[in-house]
Amino acid sequence: MRSPADGLEPMLEADLDAVVELERGIFRHPWNRRAFERELGGHPLSRSWVVRDPQAGVVAYACAWHVAGELLINNIAVAATHRRRGLGRALLARLLDDARRAGLERAVLEVRVTNAPALALYAAHGFRSIGRRRRYYSDGEDAWVLAASLSPAAAGPGAPGTDGAAS
């Protein structure tokens, strides 16, 4: 049985067609190809990952920045056909682990107030609301601003990127 982290690799330029197609199928107001090209084009702050399925190709991705001591999570997306398999959790864990290893202090993101699955995922990783952005999305929906400490103590014993046993 495959682990959710199997197939998790850095995003490559060759992944862009699949990533853009996935983005368009998931989000009401998707990023365009140029946005992803900028993420991959040597942007020094950018960290982008994909999950590749042996049969289906790219089925999930995440984009984030390491900036000013923080991990800014821009996007995590999983194909509808591959949800509830731990792929979003694996991508988020990779982003958080990498940020801890880089010495970043906290993670920050915005999420639609109606995105219950994402809110549950983030809460399970220690994210808490620090604000609300009114009419943040182009359709007028609000966003919660969430943050989580990246200190080893906040990660919990045995969490990736800590001195615990699991890694």
In a domain, 96, yes or no: yes
Confidence class for position 164, pLDDT limits 50, 70, 90:
very low
Q: Is 105 a catalytic residue?
A: no
- The pLDDT tens digits of the residues spanning 43-68 come to 788 999 999 988 888 999 999 999 99
In a domain, 162, yes or no: no
CATH of the domain at 38: 3.40.630.30
In a domain, 165, yes or no: no
Q: What is the pTM of this model?
A: 0.84
In a domain, 106, yes or no: yes
- What pLDDT is recorded for position 161? 40
Confidence class for position 22, pLDDT limits 50, 70, 90:
very high
- What are the residues facing 73 on neighbouring strands? 64, 109
In a domain, 2, yes or no: no
User: How many domains is the chain partitioned into structurally?
Assistant: 1
In a domain, 66, yes or no: yes
- What are the residues facing 48 on neighbouring strands? 63
Q: Are 40 and 48 in contact (CB under 8 A)?
A: yes
Cα(128)–Cα(124) distance, integer angstroms: 10
- The pLDDT tens digits of the residues spanning 89-131 come to 999 999 999 999 999 999 999 999 999 999 999 999 999 999 9
In a domain, 1, yes or no: no
Host domain of residue 15: 8-155
In a domain, 138, yes or no: yes
Catalytic position from the list 23, 122, 137, 141: 122
Q: Is 13 a catalytic residue?
A: no
Catalytic position from the list 23, 39, 61, 110: 110
